[in-house]
Amino acid sequence: MEISWIQAAILGLFASLASMPGMGGTSIGNYTLGRPLVGGLICGLVLGDMSTGILVGVAMQIVYIALVTPGGTVSADVRAISYIGIPLAMVALKSYGLSADSADGQALATSFGTMVGTLGTVLFYGTATMNLVWQHMGWRSIEKGDFDKLYLVDMVYPWVSHLLFSFLPTMIMVKMGVPMVDLIKNYLPMDGLAMKTLFTVGSILPCVGIAILLKQIVTKALDFIPFFFGFTLAASLGINLVSATIIASMFAYLNYRIKMLQLTKTANATAVIVDDDDEEDI
């Protein structure tokens, strides 16, 4: 699979839009274009193999299903996962002759994406640090009363940071990655220890993504029940995700109704007590 400079440049542009902090804003950039599922669609379209792109995107999406950046600390960089990791994983799959739809193909994609995503945090810190230069100019313009310059500082100058830390790295990595993948293939046989480990890690890594989410919603042991309820629906009963969501909505709705009833009940109870007080006063 060949990637031309133009294709690599388009991916570089999307990387600039999709990163956190990116030029697409968080709603359209980070939370839409930066999600590996959407990145898979875009990489697939750019590289001319949509279904492989999406399957690779889905595989990586699970690892990063809850990419929360509390207080701006990142453990992985979305632009690197979606616009360096996905294209290179697609190249690797083609080169190894694996189908993106198979468990092995997804394990390979996951390993690749996670590796690139973790290394990509360098890009995050690079962009954020370079933005300090523009912010410094911003403070000066406020002191001078030149307020309109704030627009340039907030929305235009950061493009320079992205040219250096999103566009160029993505373009070069994607372009140079293709011969690298072939090199790895020649030196590391698939039934060797290194590749076996790589595939195994790829199949286990999504557990981390799910666990990060669980960490957010589980505060006591009983909170695991909804999770295992959903797990059982899919694993034992074979119910698909859309149907599982509808079943889940029903339970959530019931829970909400019960909670609201409790609230109105306590509200009524207090109202009654107030009435009693009034009578006593009389």
The torsion angle over the Cα atoms of residues 98, 100, 103 and 107, rounded to 10 degrees, is: 90
H or E element, residue 187: helix 168-187
Please state the closest distance from residue 70 (CB atom) to another protein, in A: 6
Site pattern 31..50 for another protein (x: CB under 8 A): xx--x-xx-xx--x-----x
Identify the residue among 187, 240, 277, 279 touching another protein (CB under 8 A).
Answer: 240
Number of Cβ atoms within 10 Å of the Cβ of 42: 21
224-235 and 241-281 helices, crossing angle to 10°: 150
Residues 145-164 that bind another protein (CB under 8 A): 145, 147, 150-151, 153-155, 157-158
In angstroms, the CA 82 to CA 59 distance is 11
Residue from 8, 23, 43, 123 touching another protein (CB under 8 A): that is: 23
Tell me the C-alpha distance between 62 and 110, whole Å: 9
Q: What is the 3-state secondary structure (H, E, C) of 179-228?
A: HHHHHHHHHCCCCCHHHHHHHHHHHHCHHHHHHHHHHHHCCCHHHHHHHH
- Cβ of residue 252: shortest distance to another protein, in angstroms? 4
CB of 120 to another protein, least distance (A): 13
Q: Which residue has the tokens 């009435």?
A: 275
- Site residues for another protein, 170-189, by CB under 8 A, read 189
* Closest CB 3 distance from another protein, rounded Å: 19
Among 4, 6, 48, 51, binds another protein (CB under 8 A): 51
- Chain positions 192 to 211 lying near another protein, rule: CB under 8 A, are 193, 195-197, 199-201, 203-208, 210-211
Please say which residue, 123 or 175, places its beta carbon nearer to another protein: 123
Measure the CA–CA gap between 115 and 202, rounded to whole angstroms: 10
Beta carbon of residue 127, minimum distance to another protein (angstroms, whole number): 8
One symbol per residue from 67 to 96: x for binding another protein (CB under 8 A), - otherwise; what is it?
xx-xxx--x--------------------x
Count other Cβ atoms within 10 Å, centred on residue 121.
15
282's tokens: 């009389």
48 torsion bin: left (phi>0), alpha (psi -120 to 50), beta (else):
left
Of 122, 14, 12, nearest in space to 77 by CA: 122
Q: Which stretch binds another protein (CB under 8 A): 6-14, 22-30, 166-174, 270-278?
A: 22-30
Residue 29 or 177: the one with the smaller Cβ distance to another protein is 29
Q: How far is the CB of 172 from another protein (least distance, A)?
A: 23
